[in-house]
Amino acid sequence: MADTQEYSGTALTEAQSSSGDWEPRILGILCNWCSYAGADLAGSARLLHPPNVRIIRVPCSGRVDPQFVLKGFMRGFDGVLVSGCHPGDCHYAKGNYYARRRLTLLTRFLETMGIPRERFQFQWVSASEGARWAESVREMTERIRKLGPFQGVGRPVPLLIPVAATRDEPRELEVKAQ
Amino acid sequence: MARVGVFVCWCGSNIARTVDVQRVAEAARRIPGVVFSTDYKYMCSEPGQTMVRDAIREHRLDRVVVASCSPRLHEPTFQRCIAEAGLNPYLVEMANIREHCSWVHQDREAATEKAIDLVRMAVAKARRDFPLFRNEIPITKRALVIGGGVAGIQAALDIADAGYPVTLVERTPSIGGRMAQYDKTFPTLDCAACILTPKMVDCASHPNITILTYAEVEEVSGFVGNFTVRIRRRARGVDMEKCTGCGVCYSKCPVKVPNEFEEGMGERRAIYVPFPQAVPNVPVIDRQHCRLNNGLKCGVCQKLCPTGAIAYDQEDEVITGQFGAIVVATGFKMWDHSQIGEYGYGGIPDVISGLQFERLMNASGPTEGKIVRPSDHRPPKTVVFVACVGSRSENHGHEYCSKVCCMYTAKHALLLKEKYPDTQAYVFYMDIRANGKGYEEFVRRTIEEYGAHYIRGRVSRIYRHGDRVVVKGADTLLGRPVEIDADLVVLATAMEPQDDAKELARRLGISTDQHNWFSEAHPKLKPVEVLSSGIYLAGACQYPKDIPDTVAQASGAASKVAGLFSKPHLLSEPMIASVREEDCVACGQCVRVCPFSAIELVDVNGKNGASRRAARVNEGLCHGCGTCVAGCRGSCIDLRGFTNAQVLSEIDALALA
């Protein structure tokens, strides 16, 4: 998909190596109309919160392909936070309902991939909830700090359901970090 | 290879105080693809924008990243800016280093690192930007107004006055709606007919207005500027061209049925005009009750009609029209109080609804304005009015306030006392909600000048005792039970959406709330629009409203339509979904998830000239949410401006080594 070669090495790694302290790195994927605006409001209201989240703006939480979340973990983020409009408030009427279904399923899938579900959060923040956004960043950062650095995708967890019923033994799903 | 320019803004000290902007600009220079970067005090100022435009020319930039405030604030500014320098406006990306960074962090080091990351992400995305264009969509400059009550009439008149043709569709045989049934209107006590009927006549005579009565909208397709609507005009049984409205037919018709317009209190014939001022003044044959239609001998109206206008064999007419905008003004209905057991299940003749009382007071009503008891036609001596019947009641399914009952109950009490000063008027209320111009004063007048007895409390039971009606309730201010021997009880019943509101919403592709009121696009800032462009709401189909609010909203809807029609053409959204048809397997998942019904499966040319199916996005309908993109099994649908490659590259931009 995207060429990644030229993006190896980031400011964050430099910062980490210089300070020596590990800081949680969290990927935020926010819908334009509610959560991104809520994060903007947190800014205008000067609601201080930890600088650990990097925000990607998408039009709607319904735009969030579960692979964005997986990609975040595969690229070494310690946590991923997806935030959309409250149920009933979606700018596009029902995109957030699709997001809720997809990401609920994803949460279960993450565990099978060996990604603790505590590292992933899906939440609603409206355009008027700047304080809620700031609070969720605080909470998520603290939770990830306690969990420690993400060790990378690739430590397989036995699948409870055989991948193919025709096989004699249940096969473990293996996903390796790139 | 893209040539990206990065422009880092200080925003005075807003950003520069917390973020080391020079370091951000220097770090940006090392990001692959970046050929130029700089920082400046106010990037959005004219000198700042000139700096951007000059750099585009000097360094042959083809992508621009502005690291400043939220794109929700200044993205349009910089889109215009780079367009002036000859770039496509969608080749600019913004890194939000103010709201999401300098304003919410204090640690200068961490904030600077974050700002650099945000720039890195923006550059990665900008490199994958491609020019986007808005297509011109033609507009059919004809409006459809659904519902011929005061809301629909006002909207139609305003649109027509703005110079655009309007088709007004009304389900009943005449326009006028609920307001035509009212006697006087609060708080000025204008006679409803005196202020409404001139507007009805204006509608009928306006060269830009076509009225279709006894007609319903059956099917709506298309999108803003280009709706195709199928309207069924039910067979009237009377030739509208030939009829002169003389009225001989209905004076001699032998069939008598309860009159809907009089709320069941009077009678009409099987051929009838609903009320004397009806527009159009052409009778309609009620086929359910017509003797001839039920296999009996008759034909009286046909024999008597001097112009030969009666046409028993007339058939429904289906009209398909093109419209650029639709105003929905379908109004409300009154809740049927026969569901309340404690108020007699609607079985006590002298317990009537507010709308029935309205007809009793009306000079053209069944009693010619005399207030009498329906049971024995005696004038009542004691009248009890009960507010909030069914409204503000979870038990009866209406948690909401019906908004107008406080006022019309006060009006009823006042008019009763005015006509019959010796009559006693009692009003049971929960709260008095008189929040309009002159409303509170009106209620006070009813109480203080006219001496209506207001009792704060609920009525627990209404039952018959001899020829009287006993009302049992509580006075919660005095804290004691109340029992009133009444002659007539008037219930201010809740307003409800029309029975088929949900069905109409489905046809229009708009949404309703839990009670089936139509949902506006935004409760405060878009109270007239719905989520689908080109469809507007007017009046009580959205929520209970009084006449001033209804008329105001109708004019609002009309001005929205006029604004839409004043443009030569529409511009499509540039950031919308598009399908790679060669990869699409027509599974239909995108069709199912699209909130705007913007995607359909169509026949496309496959290999060797064979035809096959593939999804196609209607650019007029797509709003660009991207729900289809995340749902596509084959990744063959993508969202312009937020492609999969762009989002993933933003994540990649921050990848650990």
Give pLDDT tens digits for B173-182.
Answer: 999 999 999 9
Residue A17 is predicted with a pLDDT of 41
Q: Which residues of B touch A47 (CB under 8 A)?
A: 104
Give the pLDDT mean for B300-322. Answer: 95
| B-chain residues near A30 (CB < 8 A) | none
Per residue in A109-118, pLDDT (tens digit) is: 898 888 999 9
Summarize pLDDT for B499-538 with one digit per residue, the tens.
999 999 989 988 888 899 998 987 888 899 997 889 999 9
> Are B309 and B242 contacting, i.e. CB atoms less than 8 angstroms apart?
yes
Q: B106 and A48 in contact by Cβ < 8 A?
A: yes
Query: Using 50, 70 and 90 to split pLDDT, how confident is the model at B656?
Result: low
A168 falls in which pLDDT band (50, 70, 90)? very low
| A132: chain B residues, CB-CB within 8 Å | none
Q: How far apart are CA B397 and CA A41, in angstroms?
A: 37
Q: Which of B515, B562, B503, B580 is nearest to B543 (CA)?
A: B515
Q: What ipTM was assigned to the predicted interfaces of this complex?
A: 0.81
Cα distances (Å, whole numbers) of residue B421 to B289, B351, B417, B508: 42, 21, 5, 50
pLDDT confidence of B610, banded at 50, 70, 90? confident
* Amino acid at the residue B313: D
- B656–A12 CB contact, under 8 Å: yes
Q: In angstroms, what CA-CA distances link B308 with B174, B233, B283?
A: 21, 21, 13
Contact A35, A84 (CB under 8 A): yes
**Mutation target among B575, B651, B656 for the A interface, most CBs of A within 10 A:** B651
Q: What is the DSSP string of A71-114?
A: HHHHTT-SEEEEEEPPTT--TTSSHHHHHHHHHHHHHHHHHHTT
A157 to chain B, closest Cα gap in Å = 24
Give whole-number Cα distances, B163 to B138, B324, B557, B569, in Å.
Answer: 18, 14, 15, 17
With a pLDDT cut of 90, the percent of chain B lying above it is 90
CB proximity under 8 Å: A 17-46 to B: 23, 25, 27, 29, 32, 36-37, 39-40, 42-44, 46
Task: Compute CA B568 distance to the chain's CA centroid, rounded to the nearest angstrom.
Answer: 25
Question: What is the chain A residue with the closest CA to B24?
Answer: A11
B328 close to B538: Cβ distance less than 8 angstroms: yes
HSE-CB at B213 with a 13 A cutoff on CA atoms is 25
The per-residue pLDDT for A119 is 95
Higher pLDDT, A169 or B382: B382
Residues of A numbered 135-174 whose beta carbons fall under 8 angstroms of chain B's beta carbons: which are they?
A: none
Question: B72 contacts in A (CB within 8 Å)?
Answer: 32, 36-37, 40
What letter does residue B393 receive in the DSSP assignment?
B
Six-digit token pair at B298?
């008759």
The pLDDT, as a whole number, for residue B572 is 84
Question: Which chain B residue shows the shortest CA-CA distance from A15?
Answer: B113
DSSP class per residue in B30-85: TSTTEEEEEEES-TTSHHHHHHHHHHHHHTT-SEEEEEES-HHHHHHHHHHHHHHT
Is pLDDT above 50 for B350? Answer: yes
What is the rounded distance in angstroms from the CA atom of residue A116 to the CA atom of residue A150? Answer: 9
Of A46, A47, A71, the CB nearest to B648: A71
C-alpha A25: how far from chain center: 10
Which of A10, A63, A72 shows the shortest C-beta gap to B117? A10
pLDDT 10s digits, B1-38 = 789 999 999 999 999 999 999 999 999 999 999 999 99
As to burial, measured by CB atoms within 10 angstroms (0-12 exposed, 13-18 middle, 19+ buried), residue B404 is: buried
**How high is the mean pLDDT of chain B?**
95
**Range with the poorest average pLDDT among A8-17, B10-19, B549-558:** A8-17
3-state SS, one letter per residue, for B263-303: CCCCEEECEECCCCCCECCCCEECCCCCCHHHCCCCCHHHH
Helix (H/G/I), strand (E/B), else coil: B489: strand
B244 pLDDT higher than 60: yes
- Residue B237: which pLDDT band, with cuts at 50, 70 and 90? very high
pLDDT for B74 beyond 70: yes
Q: Pick the residue with more confidence: B408 or B506?
A: B408
What's the whole-number mean pLDDT along residues B607-631?
A: 90
On the question of pLDDT at A169 being above 70, the answer is no
Residue B195 pLDDT: 96
Angle at B121 between CA B110 and CA B43, to 5 degrees: 80
Residue of B nearest to A8 (CA): B657
What's the burial of B266, exposed, middle or buried (CB within 10 Å: 0-12/13-18/19+)? middle
- The answer to whether B120 contacts A11, with C-beta atoms less than 8 Å apart, is yes
**Chain position carrying tokens 């009237």:** B236
Percent over 70 (pLDDT), chain B: 100
Interchain pair A51, B110: CB under 8 A: yes
**Cα B210–chain centre separation:** 22
What pLDDT is attached to residue B643? 95
- Please say whether the beta carbons of B404 and B495 come within 8 A: yes
pLDDT band at A5 (very low <50, low <70, confident <90, very high): very low
Predicted confidence at residue B611, as pLDDT, reads 87
CB pairs under 8 A between A and B: 177
Work out the mean pLDDT of chain A and round it to a whole number: 81
| pLDDT tens-place string over residues A16-75 | 444 468 999 999 999 999 999 999 999 999 999 999 999 999 999 999 999 999 999 988
State the pLDDT at residue A20. Answer: 60
